[in-house]
Amino acid sequence: QFIAFASLFFILVSITTFCLETHEAFNTIINKTEQVINGTEAVLQYEIETDPALTYVEGVCVVWFTFEFLVRVVFSPNKLEFIKNLLNIIDFVAILPFYLEVGLSGLSSKAAKDVLGFLRVVRFVRILRIFKLTRHFVGLRVLGHTLRASTNEFLLLIIFLALGVLIFATMIYYAERVGAQPNDPSASEHTQFKNIPIGFWWAVVTMTTLGYGDMYPRTWSGMLVGALCALAGVLTIAMPVPVIVNNFGMYYSLAMAKQKLPRKRKKHIPPAPQASSPTFCKTDLNMACNSTQGDICLGKDNQLMEHNRSSGRIPLK
């Protein structure tokens, strides 16, 4: 439990640091303009330097994540399954760029600077550490199981959405060109739907009922197509959603029931008595005497004699 809380703390600190690195209060613009020797003009060069305090905090978090990752690797019973796990791959990918950036920071070659620039762009993989919380929160695990079980429904939703986008983007393109001016054959001044690919964006926004308003129809025929597109989007999204909700409810109920189950205690089970031990004879006698049929139940002495006689200990006369 202590390790879980420590891991949760460092994950939250790392994500907070990642977000603060993009704030202008923690970034200093450094002018690195160099005077050209053989020319008269200087090339303006600027570089953004992040506050070193954030770098140190990120370094501490990476040290903890590295220690946690190495311990889990060492004590993993199945190394191959550990490597194939998606969360472990995310852990490794989120840790590696920091060490590469630290190792290449002292180099001044152009290739090293290019690699450093690429690593700064790849910093966004650090946000993937949020998925580590699935190890400590039941709700996130339930969400992951739901998404995995609803793959067919998501695929069906994407196919329906793609068909609707293609159909309505084509319809809005031709509907908006109805009122185009004769001196404007491309209809660039008449409407914003200059081609069908541009209409894809409008169709996606309309079918998902988002409606940014950056593109909208201006003719009566375009408005009719827009209304049909919105209605089709509502119906298309509403069909697979109940199945996904049912999957989530099922996995959530199972997770809650599993948490409420009492923990099983290991009970000592005594070994079964051997045939040659006196305990075995007493067990048989007690079981026979506990029978509900009283006329069949014999005395203990007679049963013991019969048992010993059958085992060969008393010779028959």
The helix/strand/coil state of 29 is: strand
Check residues 126 and 73 and name the one with the higher pLDDT: 73
Alpha-carbon distance of 45 to 42, in angstroms, equals 9
Which position has the token pair 């009719």?
Answer: 224
Q: Is the dihedral of CA 213, 215, 219, 224 positive or negative?
A: negative
Instruction: State the angle between helix axes of 151-176 and 241-260 in degrees (0 to 180), rounded to the nearest 10.
Output: 150
Alpha-carbon distance of 49 to 53, in angstroms, equals 12
Q: Is the dihedral of CA 131, 134, 137, 141 positive or negative?
A: positive
Alpha-carbon distance of 236 to 257, in angstroms, equals 34
Tokens of 219: 């003719």
Annotation: CATH topology of 141-260? Helix Hairpins (1.10.287)
**In this predicted model, what pLDDT tens digit does every residue of 38-91 receive, in sequence order?**
555 556 666 677 788 888 898 898 899 899 889 888 888 888 888 888 888 888
Does residue 17 contact residue 50 with C-beta atoms inside 8 Å?
no
**Residue 49: what residue type?**
E
Helices (H), 177-195: none
Q: Which residues contact 104 (CB under 8 A, 6 or more apart)?
A: 112, 115, 116, 119
Annotation: CATH topology of 1-136? Four Helix Bundle (Hemerythrin (Met), subunit A) (1.20.120)
Residues 291-315: b if buried by 16+ CB within 10 A, e if exposed: eeeeeeeeeeeebbeeeeeeeeeee
- Tell me the β-bridge partners of 34: 43
**DSSP-assigned letters across all residues of 241-263:** HHHHHHHHHHHHHHHHHHHHSPP
Burial class for 216, CB neighbours closer than 10 Å (0-12, 13-18, 19+) = middle
Phi, psi of 199 (to 5 degrees): -70, -20
| DSSP letter assigned to residue 296 | T
How confident is residue 206, by pLDDT bands cut at 50, 70 and 90?
Answer: very high
Does residue 268 contact residue 177 with C-beta atoms inside 8 Å?
no
Does residue 166 contact residue 192 with C-beta atoms inside 8 Å?
no
Does residue 172 contact residue 199 with C-beta atoms inside 8 Å?
yes
Give the per-residue pLDDT at 26: 81
Alpha-carbon distance of 283 to 31, in angstroms, equals 94
Instruction: For the beta carbon of residue 195, count every other beta carbon within 10 angstroms.
Output: 11
Closest by CA to 54, choosing from 90, 81, 99, 16, is: 16
Please report, for the chain, the start and end positions of each structural domain, with discontinuous segments joined by +: 1-136, 141-260
Give the per-residue pLDDT at 201: 92
Whole-prediction pTM? 0.59
Please say if the pLDDT value at position 115 is more than 80.
no
Check residues 36 and 61 and name the one with the higher pLDDT: 61
- Considering just the CA atoms, what is the radius of gyration of the chain in Å? 37
**In this predicted model, what pLDDT tens digit does every residue of 208-253 receive, in sequence order?**
988 888 888 888 888 999 999 999 999 988 888 888 888 888 888 8
How confident is residue 293, by pLDDT bands cut at 50, 70 and 90?
Answer: very low
